[in-house]
Structure 1
Amino acid sequence: MRLPPGLGAILGIALVILVCRPAHSPAATGATADAPPYALNRADEDYRYLRNPANRLDFWDPLKYLPLDGNGSWFLSIGGEARERYEYFNRPNWGQGAEDHGYFLQRYFLHGDLHLGDHARFFTQFQSSLEDGRRGGPRPAIDEDQLDVHQLFLDLAANLPGDSSLTLRSGRQELAYGSQRLISVREGPNVRQSFDGFRLIYRKGDIRIDGFAAKPALTNRHVFDDGPDNTRALWGAYAVLPCPPLAEAHLDLYYIGLFRRTAGFDQGTARETRHSAGARLWRTALPVDYNFEALYQWGSFGNGDIRAWTVASDTGYTLVSLPLRPRIGLRADIASGDEDPANPDLQTFNPLFPKGAYFSEAGLIGPANFIDLNPCLDLHLTDKATITFDWDFFWRESTRDGLYNNAVALVRSGETSNARYIGSMAQTQLFWNIDRHLSFVAIYGHFFAGRFLKEAGPGNDVDYLTTWLSYKF
């Protein structure tokens, strides 16, 4: 495969940074034990530790904590992020459409976090996501949003007896729960997802319980034109609890409701009201980590009933005493598909608002009507750099249903083939947290088309490459 055009620009930027970047002391970079990592949702960060001047060691700390009163309980925190990304596809969508193309994606965030004492807070975040060079222009909803309000909410908090707290969050906000299989900020794509609504947040030690009611924010391409999507609604409750019988384990229990005025599946298009109830058991401590999740869905689709389900697992063992601390892992997942398109009842699982990179950053396959088996190997080159090798194999759970993408949009109908095997994707991924602010990622994958894709046609293999640099402050 020849070097994709434009890739040299990203690699050149990375080389300049790595070669010319001066060596800094911990005090200059903020790489101290007291400096927490930046959160996925920047609204989850807390800079009250900077009340102590001795902790103000990072270059950006003067912006992270701007006291507005004498005791520092009123303060403003300012932060942001820039991500420069290049993506390349050879035969995207398995040869249906353009043969090969590469394009640039840029994403910028700027936020302000105003704390008015311990009981009131105002948070706002702007997002600008830009696309350049993609054949056919930006993909709807995920590639471009020139400038808009990504988050804008008010927190009203109260301290409760027993060291607990209750917070009401009102406005536009990010939602992310568990492994982000169902509700995600959609970090992989260029435009992240946010919601307009209300969230009630209860915290006590390791116990976290959220109740929420919201509508997804629309992603329109131009300036300040993202309103709420009145054709969809999301509501539910999510609890995270310690699980004392299992060492260092946690248990998630949740109910989530979804309404879509117009929902499309291989069976057809109709109004959808879907309820999901599930549980997740997880542990991140070494050497054994695991993540098991199961859920059941019911509701209505047009005149039919919904009966769908999924089971997911991710288990790993880290050989902490060996060089490179290898982690051997296995992910195995299954989600139901429709059993009979002529029957009005629907069995296709709906992943609701999943993370954009559910199986891979390529986003070729979404989590509906599938079986996947994914062995992987992680090698820790340093404390900050990890390289991952994995090979994901895909089948259709039901041969009467089609193949979907992450947005639960039909990619290939199941009516053209009774084959179960979709194909497999081999990937190599490098993740490098250069320091607290700067990170670099490079991913290459090759998808080997299986019998179903070849019979549903076209069914060519796909090459995918992406690399990006992110800077946060």
Structure 2
Amino acid sequence: MRYETTAIAAIALLIGEPGIAQEGEPPAIEKLRFDEDYSYLRTVPRPYSWPDCWKYIPFDDDPDRYLTIGGEVRQRYEYTNNPTYGQDPQDKRGVLLQRYSLFGDLHWNRHLRFFGQLTSALEAGRAEGSSPVDEDKLEWQNAFVDLSPGGRDGREATLRLGRQEIVLGSGRLVDVREGPNVRRTFDGGRGFVIGEGWRVDVVAARPRLDRRGVFDDKTNNTQALWGIYSVFQKPLPPFGNLRGNLDLYYLGYENEDSTYVQGTEHEDRHSFGARYWGDAGNWSWNWETLYQFGRFGSGDINAWTLATETTHRWADIHWQPAVKISINIASGDDDLDDSDLGTFNPLYPRGNYFSEAAVFGPRNFYNFHTFLYLQPIEALALTVDLNFFWRLETEDGLYSPAGQIIRGPDDSDAHFAATALSLTAEYTFCRGLVFTAIHTFGKPEKFLRETAPSEDLGFTELTLQYRF
């Protein structure tokens, strides 16, 4: 239990004792830590209280030259009863997943920036051994340089080169994979231009090939991602004053060894999509659709998806309840005997796409997913969600979030695959220190019962995370 003792000591050291308070509000702690901007501290008299004493370390008399230091300690315990509904080996006592991270963000001037982040991900207890998303003992998670020529006419352009985490939109297609222990990152380039109410990103990168050792990862040269992603945050007709935001994008994808129920072939895929999202009063929404085409071996790709989330919150009522309805569908392959492929590919999605249990991914499916959110006090958030999950095409199977085949069709004509109920409690002790408890009840439905082991699934997760 040496890791638990180390983690507790590290958290106690990092939280420390309060110092002198400073003016100004710190930025939110972001999923991508390099998106946080602490330059406001240049106008705040020193000394700073913890952890702002590490957030703005100036060099000489230039206010634009400073260093930001931060990091993360995450301890997670997971226990799954009947993993993948009884198909995978049973962990005897559960799994301990640990993640430690430290980053430095050096702003040399307004035109040059260096960002480096070291991460250690450790695993103990997995019955079938560590997977690439469980353990990576020590590696550069981010190591890039930003080159910014300067602003003109209200626009700011940046070229980012090196290893970098990438999230596009709401993470349905490209995300860092926060749920698993090892986050996803890419090697390559990203350029972006930000204007008043809009942003355009151009990406050309390959994913990192994760290995378990120390500084032994490399670029995965069998896969590639490229494209352009645009965001427009302005009132859009015909909605008048409704503040809707529109994303339009094209993403190209290559994988030399893509595997579907149909087989394994070289895949070249092109995705054109649109996302409309925003909020008005007590309503918020996030709707997205896209079409994919390309080549899979000697066959053609013809795939699509539609994803919707609509939320209503009663902010003036005790516990501030909110209800979210999510209805989603993604194409599957309807004929395994021809060379064409109809299965949707989510590219590099969230690792916990439907739940923290992370059993199924968004391919060949349709589902109805409803959420109830409650906030009894400011520090405590409660969530109850219920998910009904079906196969779309009976000739195709079910896939994991990373794309592995969970179940082949096995001549079953059943669509209904599973029902899952999840309960989540999240308590925030202070800025950056959060405890989360989750339990998921999974029930196999007709398709799982007809094809392979089909035991009830139980998933428990306890996570203590401190980010500074």
TM-score of the superposition, structure 1-length normalised? Answer: 0.93
Partner residue, 2:185: 194
Assess if the C-alpha contact under 8 Å between 2:191 and 2:202 holds in 1. yes
Q: 1:303 aligns with which of 298, 301, 309?
A: 298
Give aligned-pair identity as a percent: 42
Indicate the SS of the match to 1:93: helix
Q: Does 1:129 align with 2:124?
A: no
Shift of 1:433: 2.4
Assess if the C-alpha contact under 8 Å between 2:91 and 2:125 holds in 1. no
- The correspondence of residues 115-154 of structure 1 with structure 2, limited to 5 A, is 115-139=107-131, 141-154=132-145
Aligned amino acid, residue 398 of structure 1: E
Partner residue, 2:102: 110
Q: 2:225 aligns with which of 227, 234, 238?
A: 234
Shift of 1:219: 0.6
Inter-partner Cα distance in structure 2 for 1:45 and 1:158: 20
Q: 1:224 aligns with which of 215, 219, 234?
A: 215
Partner residue, 2:334: 339
Indicate the SS of the match to 2:209: coil
Shift of 1:384: 3.0
Q: 2:404 aligns with which of 390, 409, 413?
A: 409
Describe the shift of the 1:344–1:428 C-alpha distance in structure 2 as closer, same or farther (beyond 3 A). same
Aligned amino acid, residue 463 of structure 2: W
Aligned amino acid, residue 443 of structure 1: I
Indicate the SS of the match to 2:410: helix
Shift of 1:116: 0.9
Describe the shift of the 1:445–1:56 C-alpha distance in structure 2 as closer, same or farther (beyond 3 A). farther
Partner residue, 1:381: 376
Q: 2:167 aligns with which of 165, 176, 187?
A: 176
- The correspondence of residues 220-299 of structure 1 with structure 2, limited to 5 A, is 220-245=211-236, 246=239, 247-284=242-279, 286-299=281-294
Shift of 1:45: 1.2
Per-residue CA deviations over 1:64-104 (Å, capped at 9, x if unaligned) read 11111213221111111010000000000111233454010
Per-residue CA deviations over 1:250-301 (Å, capped at 9, x if unaligned) read 1111100000001000001100000001000001454101000000000000
Inter-partner Cα distance in structure 1 for 2:109 and 2:217: 31
Per-residue CA deviations over 1:32-58 (Å, capped at 9, x if unaligned) read 761112111111111111112348643
Q: Does 1:471 align with 2:466?
A: yes
Describe the shift of the 1:33–1:383 C-alpha distance in structure 2 as closer, same or farther (beyond 3 A). farther
Describe the shift of the 1:153–1:312 C-alpha distance in structure 2 as closer, same or farther (beyond 3 A). same
Aligned amino acid, residue 131 of structure 1: E
Inter-partner Cα distance in structure 2 for 1:385 and 1:357: 22
Shift of 1:380: 1.1
Describe the shift of the 1:301–1:437 C-alpha distance in structure 2 as closer, same or farther (beyond 3 A). same
Inter-partner Cα distance in structure 2 for 1:119 and 1:111: 20
Assess if the C-alpha contact under 8 Å between 1:49 and 1:55 holds in 2. no
Q: Does 1:421 align with 2:416?
A: yes
Q: 1:431 aligns with which of 426, 438, 442?
A: 426
Inter-partner Cα distance in structure 2 for 1:150 and 1:58: 28
Assess if the C-alpha contact under 8 Å between 1:29 and 1:436 holds in 2. no
Per-residue CA deviations over 1:411-457 (Å, capped at 9, x if unaligned) read 10013411100011000011222211201111100001001001111
Indicate the SS of the match to 2:218: coil
Q: 1:325 aligns with which of 309, 313, 320?
A: 320
Q: 1:353 aligns with which of 337, 348, 353?
A: 348
Inter-partner Cα distance in structure 1 for 2:295 and 2:217: 29
Q: 1:74 aligns with which of 65, 68, 71?
A: 65
Q: Which moved more, 1:295-304 or 1:415-424?
A: 415-424
Aligned amino acid, residue 275 of structure 1: H
CA RMSD for the aligned pairs?
2.3
Q: Does 1:207 align with 2:204?
A: no
Describe the shift of the 1:359–1:463 C-alpha distance in structure 2 as closer, same or farther (beyond 3 A). same
Q: Which moved more, 1:196-205 or 1:32-41?
A: 32-41
Unaligned runs of at least 5 residues, structure 2: none
Q: Which consecutive segments of 4 or more residues in structure 1 shift more than 3 A?
A: 21-25, 27-30, 54-58
Describe the shift of the 1:386–1:285 C-alpha distance in structure 2 as closer, same or farther (beyond 3 A). farther
Inter-partner Cα distance in structure 1 for 2:311 and 2:258: 36
Q: 1:451 aligns with which of 421, 424, 446?
A: 446
Assess if the C-alpha contact under 8 Å between 1:142 and 1:191 holds in 2. yes
Assess if the C-alpha contact under 8 Å between 1:445 and 1:465 holds in 2. yes
Inter-partner Cα distance in structure 2 for 1:270 and 1:215: 19
Q: Which moved more, 1:309-318 or 1:95-104?
A: 95-104
Aligned amino acid, residue 251 of structure 1: L
Q: 2:80 aligns with which of 76, 89, 98?
A: 89
Inter-partner Cα distance in structure 1 for 2:44 and 2:372: 43
Q: Which moved more, 1:172-181 or 1:413-422?
A: 413-422
Assess if the C-alpha contact under 8 Å between 1:364 and 1:405 holds in 2. yes
Shift of 1:134: 1.5
Q: Which moved more, 1:253-262 or 1:93-102?
A: 93-102
